[in-house]
Amino acid sequence: MIKNKELIDRFFRYVKIDTQSSEETGTSPSTAKQHDLAKVLYEELKEMGASDVYYDTEHCYVYARIPGDDRSPLGFIAHMDTSPAVTGKDVKPRIIENYNGEDFLLKTDEFPELLNHIGEDIIATDGTTLLGADDKAGVAEIMNLAEYLLTHKEVSHRPIHIAFTPDEEIGCGTDYFDAERFGTKESYTVDGGKLGIIEYENFNAASAHIHVTGKSVHPGSAKNIMKNASTLAIEFQNMLPAVEVPEHTEGYEGFYFLDSMKGDVEKAELSYIIRDHDAELFAARKENIKKITAYLNDKYGEGTFSAEVKDQYHNMADAMKDHMDLVENAMEAMKKVGVTPVNEPIRGGTDGAMLCENAGIACPNLPTGGYNYHGRYEYASIQEMEKSAEALIHIATM
């Protein structure tokens, strides 16, 4: 049974607005249609009486504040865009009431997690689009928090600072984030999934581009002369540990991921991403790339291989050490809504990690109640959304 109909109505309203971002355009925001949701949120925040409501009409960010008691302000952030992977146009969300474990668009043998939702109400797609719970569930839950606090003035709470960002799905969500306007160093992103999971550890991340220069001669007279850049590239790849790849790792295990390769006899290129939660192991992985490069240059001649290794972002766990009350409060809030909190390492990055790194904002990630992101099988549990929203209120008032 739906308890917080306004929250669900809000969510439906937002997912029907197409805000798909794009990796192709190179603009900021990457797609103009993200403004369609930004405008709605801006108007709704003004209407409910939030303070300092600001719409960055150039780069598509929305900021607002809800004045509170004299404690330090607390931030909540969600992103407005949806994944470029699957269309977000004409989303037709539907509710499967009192889910009984039967197959619908989703089958339980493929998605056994569904069986945890028996008796709940599920929001699914019609199978032609994604749902957009990532992250409009988060947006709706933050808007619900704002509305609640503004209509319950008797409730004492920390000042709340809100930001809605574009282009998170293409890794550009914080490019034009105005940390000064946001005005707090303690925040949460509300962009997780399963209720109860709190995330504050993410990967250390680097990219590595390997360039191989070969020597092309006629294959008929190539003996002892030809250097085939493509086969040399394969040799490089084969020197990396075969099991330290995304498809064989989980939890805190790091990896090298060969994201793309191309080559002919004269030139070849390998593009990797390197990931590890542990700072020392991360450094060792980068060092390993350099060692292999040096070894192969020794073998085939200086300049045959070159490696460009660049850091992308770092684990926010280090910076979180002074702000563990954020994690503790979130865990306490989960208990208050009746779920056991779990800390799970993120096998990726978040906008929070970027904000932590670039603006010194401690920023763990909270759940929203959505599942199977970036695809047609995306769904959300209404009861988990309601509890996620309730948890935000607990956190704000702690």
Q: Nearest distance from residue 256's CB to Zn ion, in Å?
A: 25
Look up 81 and say whether it is catalytic.
yes
Among 18, 44, 56, 81, the one annotated catalytic? 81
**Interface region with Zn ion, contact rule CB under 5 A, candidates 188-196, 244-252, 300-308, 386-394:** 188-196
Give yes or no for a contact between 270 and 237, defined as CB atoms under 8 angstroms apart: yes
Q: Nearest distance from residue 95's CB to Zn ion, in Å?
A: 22
Query: Exposed e or buried b for every residue in 316-341, given b needs 16+ CB within 10 A?
Result: bbebbeebeebbebbbebbeebebeb
Helices vs strands, H then E, count in the chain: 10, 16
3 state SS for 116-149: HHCCCCEEECCCCCCCCHHHHHHHHHHHHHHHHH
191 near Zn ion, judged by CB under 5 A = yes
Listed residue (168, 150, 125) closest to 16, CA to CA? 125
CB of 134 or CB of 276, closer to Zn ion: 134
Q: Nearest distance from residue 173's CB to Zn ion, in Å?
A: 9
Q: Nearest distance from residue 168's CB to Zn ion, in Å?
A: 6
Q: How far apart are the C-alpha atoms of 288 and 103, rounded to whole Å? A: 47
Among 168, 186, 191, 390, the one annotated catalytic? 168
CB of 135 or CB of 276, closer to Zn ion: 135
CB of 73 or CB of 367, closer to Zn ion: 367
**Interface region with Zn ion, contact rule CB under 5 A, candidates 190-198, 295-303, 310-318, 329-337:** 190-198
Q: Which two tokens stand for residue 14?
A: 């937002």
CB of 191 or CB of 384, closer to Zn ion: 191
Q: How far apart are the C-alpha atoms of 135 and 137, rounded to whole Å? A: 5
81 near Zn ion, judged by CB under 5 A = no
First-to-last CA distance in the chain?
28
Q: Nearest distance from residue 326's CB to Zn ion, in Å?
A: 19
Q: How far apart are the C-alpha atoms of 73 and 65, rounded to whole Å? A: 9
167 near Zn ion, judged by CB under 5 A = no
CB of 191 or CB of 276, closer to Zn ion: 191
Draw the binding track, 222-251, toward Zn ion (x: CB under 5 A; -: no contact).
Answer: ------------------------------
Size of the site for Zn ion (CB under 5 A): 3
Amino acid at 76: F
39 membership: H or E segment, kind and range: helix 34-48
Q: Nearest distance from residue 191's CB to Zn ion, in Å?
A: 4
Per CB under 5 A, contacts with Zn ion among 263-282 are none
Per CB under 5 A, contacts with Zn ion among 341-370 are none
Per CB under 5 A, contacts with Zn ion among 119-148 are 134-135
Q: How far apart are the C-alpha atoms of 31 and 24, rounded to whole Å? A: 10
CB of 93 or CB of 173, closer to Zn ion: 173
Amino acid at 148: Y
Residue 218 gets which letter from DSSP?
-
Look up 191 and say whether it is catalytic.
no
Summarize as ranges the residues that interact with Zn ion (CB under 5 A).
134-135, 191
Catalytic residues: 81, 168
